[in-house]
Amino acid sequence: MKPIHLAIIEDDPVIKESLITYLETNPRLSIGFACTSVEDFLTSINATRDQRTEVILLDIGLPGMSGLEGMRHIKAKLPEVNIVILTTYEEEDKIFKALCGGAVSYISKRTPLNKIEEAIITIYNGGSYMSPSIARKVISHFTPKPSPNMQALSERQMQIVNGIVDGLSYKMIADKYLISIDTVRDHIKKIYRLLQVNSKAELIKKSNENNLI
């Protein structure tokens, strides 16, 4: 069976050696490069003219060029390579920058070595893999969020929103609920802040979209 040609770009010597020691016991994996930076990797493939690398385990926090920046240069040299981000960074912005930049997977360094091995083979075979903590962040990012603070409106504030939607003026609302116009204005300011709107039109639109009344 043809081996999977693998590269590791990791500057932590303990992590790099752990990966090499574990992964090279699998006859399906052939580690061609183990570099401490993107620059070292690019220099190595230029020097050897070796274009066989099929999967790269790439850290983000590297000396010199970051992993996120380096993906563009790696893809320019190896357009078909599968880049797997293996890092301690689990912030949503880094996850999505990596995925949008061409990474096929994003795995936490806390992932057990056998799962990393499994991920490499799965990805090479056309599948995908995310460590559970990363997968939860991805799912959370695409889960529809409820409108901000809808449930925070008081009964009186709901009555005032109802009046606005019905086209009542501030004075008419004040007369209807036996409160002063200043009180109505004060409630309107709080409603705008809670619902993150800036005008009557936005308030009416949000109430219609979210069945607020």
**Confidence class of residue 144 from pLDDT cuts 50, 70 and 90?**
low
Residue 142: the pLDDT is 63
Q: Give the mean pLDDT of the chain.
A: 88
Domain boundary among 93, 119, 142: 142
Q: What are phi and psi of 203, to 5 degrees?
A: -65, -45
* Structural domain count of the chain: 2
Question: Containing domain of residue 158, as a range?
Answer: 150-209
pLDDT of residue 147: 55
Confidence (pLDDT) at 102: 87
Residue 103 confidence (pLDDT) above 80: yes
Among the candidates 94, 122, 142, a domain finishes at 142
Beta bridge partners of 83: 56, 103
**CATH of residue 155:** 1.10.10.10
171 contacts 135 by C-beta, under 8 angstroms? no
> pLDDT by residue (tens digit) across 16-54?
999 999 999 999 999 999 999 999 999 999 888 878 899
Q: Which of 142, 162, 191 is the last residue of a domain?
A: 142
CATH of the domain at 58: 3.40.50.2300
Measured from the Cβ of residue 14, the count of other Cβ atoms closer than 10 Å reads 8
Both 51 and 74 in one domain: the answer is yes
Query: Can you give the pLDDT at residue 85?
Result: 93
Residues 58 and 112 in one domain: yes
100 & 177 share domain: no
Let me know whether 154 and 123 are in one domain: no
Same domain, 190 and 129: no
Distance (Å, whole) CA 191 – CA 159: 11
